[in-house]
């Protein structure tokens, strides 16, 4: 083999391993604009809604078309010539719920649509059961209530019986089944943190292989240990499995954060944490079913909704049966991160890819200053293999007129010194540090004539880079990791 052939092969291998694919690039058309996007983590497909934006008193957009794309750019039409305004997808992505368009209303009629069939419109304002069944899958609307059929936010986990309410989305037949509650005694007592307003908190999810699960948590009074309990049920409401994950910090103290287990409450227009579930987040790897529990650490234990000073984070990995595999505790020396503040402004999230973990801390100091700190961990050992620390200023959104704020396809609130006419979301700033092709592409747009916005979805196989100006064009590219 000659040198030229070898170089050609190496070039092809390099470019294949760092592939960059233009998924779609389109100009805005009159009454047919991109409205929003949705990424399904189960199928790894990106859904795009198109239609007519309402630039006036009504903020209800008309959804006329929905498409999805895979990472190779293959396009599939989900619906065309429609007249919807609010779209929600099932976890599988196979079914969506569409609300019939009305200009000056939240909407009262919705239908369910799959690839092969659709229901008639259902007036859910006349359906008393609908308000307590906020979740749906490819067969049922469902929810958890009590004997008085109250909404889940009004259910007292300690005192009430729990009732599984299901409605078949096609026949509209509903059933109500009293279910076995998770053990409450393990959540309360003299050794545990008292719940706010006696609200123990329960989190519902629709996991793979089970119909639903209830997540509950206990925290020891010294904030050195928490246990997360996952109680699994089948579609008849029978408890079929339970797993617990204990996080014990020998030399550190837990504190609260915004995460994927957070539930919020509102008191006199002030947003607060609703319950102790927000002590840490839980994310499961769908490949091997391993579970990660993560949260912030501090020097002094403080009650829920009290300001505190984070000093770092912890990340624990368990197998699917609850056995600890490894743990990592990282102290962070950063003025903004370590500042005493309301912890609802400190958000921590975890992204899982094939080979590593990306834990992200988003900290807002004030309205004009933000910082995104992230760490890559090796999945097998927990070792930190990379750190990113990205400071940004607040970017102004494309404005409003007469106090009316318009809906946009893209939202981005970060700007950096090197790209003053470009606004980024936090994930794009991280992706620029992670992927040289993304960074090179954005650098090639250093002096755009109009303001450009970037959003990024960090997915299993790579990065979906979504670009546009919310006026004239949008472009979506996929970059392999």
pLDDT tens digits, 203-212 = 888 777 789 9
Q: Is the predicted pLDDT of residue 247 greater than 90, yes or no?
A: yes
Average pLDDT over every residue of 252-273: 88
Asked if the structure places residue 125 within a domain, the reply is no
Average pLDDT over every residue of 95-117: 89
Any alpha helices (H) in 133-277, and if so which ranges? none
Average pLDDT over every residue of 230-239: 94
Lowest mean pLDDT among 30-44, 77-91, 385-399: 385-399
Asked if the structure places residue 71 within a domain, the reply is no
Q: Please, what is the average pLDDT of the chain?
A: 87
pLDDT tens by residue, 43-87: 999 999 999 987 666 678 899 999 999 999 999 999 999 999 889
Question: How much is the pLDDT for 445?
Answer: 87
CA-CA distance, 206 to 212, in Å (whole number)? 4
DSSP string covering 95-162: -EEEEEP-TTSS-SEEEEE-SS-BPPPEETTS-TTGGG--EE-SSEEEEEE-TT---GGG--TTTSPE
pLDDT tens by residue, 427-479: 999 999 889 999 999 999 876 777 899 999 999 889 999 999 999 999 999 99
| Contact (CB, 8 A) for 187 and 202 | no
Asked if the structure places residue 79 within a domain, the reply is no
Question: How much is the pLDDT for 5?
Answer: 47
Give this prediction's pTM: 0.89
Asked if the structure places residue 469 within a domain, the reply is yes
First to last CA, the chain: 30
| Contact (CB, 8 A) for 455 and 432 | no
Question: How much is the pLDDT for 228?
Answer: 96
As given in the structure block, the two tokens for residue 141 are: 């609307």
Report CA-CA distances (Å) from 16 to 9, 19, 479, 480. 10, 5, 11, 9
Domain residues for the domain of 466 are: 1-30+395-481
Q: Is the predicted pLDDT of residue 9 greater than 50, yes or no?
A: no
Q: 218: which strand partners?
A: 227
Report CA-CA distances (Å) from 144 to 168, 169, 237, 325. 15, 17, 10, 33
- Domains: count for the chain: 1
pLDDT tens by residue, 277-328: 999 999 999 889 999 999 999 999 999 999 999 999 999 999 999 999 999 9
Asked if the structure places residue 268 within a domain, the reply is no
Asked if the structure places residue 291 within a domain, the reply is no
Q: Is the predicted pLDDT of residue 171 greater than 90, yes or no?
A: yes
Asked if the structure places residue 302 within a domain, the reply is no
Question: How much is the pLDDT for 418?
Answer: 84
Beta strands at 174-179 and 162-168: parallel, antiparallel or unpaired:
antiparallel
Question: How much is the pLDDT for 57?
Answer: 63
Question: How much is the pLDDT for 18?
Answer: 55
Report CA-CA distances (Å) from 241 to 209, 234, 291, 299, 416. 11, 9, 16, 36, 48
Residues 6+ apart with CB under 8 A from 100: 83, 84, 85, 107, 108, 109, 110, 111, 121
Highest average pLDDT, of 55-59, 100-104, 196-200, 228-232, comes from 228-232
Report CA-CA distances (Å) from 252 to 54, 328, 356, 385. 51, 12, 25, 22
Q: Which residue has the higher pLDDT, 106 or 177?
A: 177
pLDDT tens by residue, 333-368: 988 889 898 888 788 999 998 778 888 887 765 556
Average pLDDT over every residue of 84-107: 89
Q: Which residue has the higher pLDDT, 366 or 258?
A: 258
pLDDT tens by residue, 398-425: 544 444 445 689 988 888 888 888 999 9
Asked if the structure places residue 160 within a domain, the reply is no
Place of tokens 């206990």: 218
Question: How much is the pLDDT for 367?
Answer: 57
Q: Which residue has the higher pLDDT, 108 or 477?
A: 477
Report CA-CA distances (Å) from 370 to 31, 177, 414. 36, 47, 8
């Amino acid at each position: 083999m000659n040198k030229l052939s070898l170089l050609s092969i190496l070039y092809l291998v390099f470019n294949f391993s760092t592939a960059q694919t233009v998924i779609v690039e389109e100009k805005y058309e009159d009454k047919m604009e991109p409205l929003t996007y949705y990424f399904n983590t189960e199928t790894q497909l990106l859904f795009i809604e198109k239609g007519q934006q309402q630039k006036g008193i009504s903020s209800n957009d008309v959804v006329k078309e929905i498409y999805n794309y895979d990472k190779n750019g293959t396009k599939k039409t989900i619906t065309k010539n429609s007249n919807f305004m609010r779209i929600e997808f099932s976890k599988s992505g196979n079914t969506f719920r569409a609300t019939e368009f009305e200009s000056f209303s939240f909407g009262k009629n919705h239908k369910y649509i799959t690839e092969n069939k659709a229901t008639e419109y259902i007036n859910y304002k006349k359906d008393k059961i609908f308000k307590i069944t906020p979740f749906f899958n490819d067969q049922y609307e469902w929810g958890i209530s009590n004997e008085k059929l109250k909404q889940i936010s009004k259910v007292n986990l300690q005192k009430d019986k729990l009732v599984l309410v299901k409605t078949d989305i096609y026949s509209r037949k509903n059933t109500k089944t009293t279910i076995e509650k998770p053990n409450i005694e393990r959540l309360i007592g003299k050794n545990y943190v008292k719940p706010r307003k006696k609200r123990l908190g329960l989190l519902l999810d629709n996991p793979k292989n089970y119909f639903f699960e209830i997540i509950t948590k206990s925290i020891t009074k010294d904030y050195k240990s928490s246990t997360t309990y996952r109680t699994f049920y089948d579609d008849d409401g029978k408890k079929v499995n339970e797993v617990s994950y204990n996080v014990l910090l020998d030399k550190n103290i837990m504190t609260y954060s915004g995460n994927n287990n957070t539930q919020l409450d509102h008191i006199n227009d002030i947003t607060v944490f609703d319950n102790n579930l927000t002590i840490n987040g839980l994310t499961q790897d769908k490949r091997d079913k391993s579970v990660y529990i993560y949260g912030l650490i501090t020097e002094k234990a403080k009650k829920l909704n009290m300001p505190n000073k984070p000093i770092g984070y912890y990340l624990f990995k368990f197998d699917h049966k609850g056995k600890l595999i490894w743990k990592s505790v990282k102290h962070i020396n950063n003025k903004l991160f370590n500042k005493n503040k309301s912890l609802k402004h400190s958000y921590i999230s975890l992204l899982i890819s094939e080979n590593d973990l990306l834990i992200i801390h988003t900290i807002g100091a004030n309205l004009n200053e933000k910082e995104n700190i992230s760490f890559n961990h090796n999945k097998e050992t927990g070792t930190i293999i990379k750190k990113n620390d990205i400071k940004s200023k607040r970017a102004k959104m494309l404005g409003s007129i007469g106090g009316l704020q318009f809906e946009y396809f893209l939202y981005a609130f970060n700007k950096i010194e090197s790209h003053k006419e470009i606004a980024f979301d936090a994930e794009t700033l991280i992706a620029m540090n992670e992927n040289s092709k993304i960074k090179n592409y954005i650098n090639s747009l250093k002096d755009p004539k109009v303001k450009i916005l970037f959003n990024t979805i960090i997915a299993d196989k790579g990065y979906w880079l979504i670009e546009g100006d919310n006026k004239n064009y949008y472009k979506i590219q996929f970059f392999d990791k």
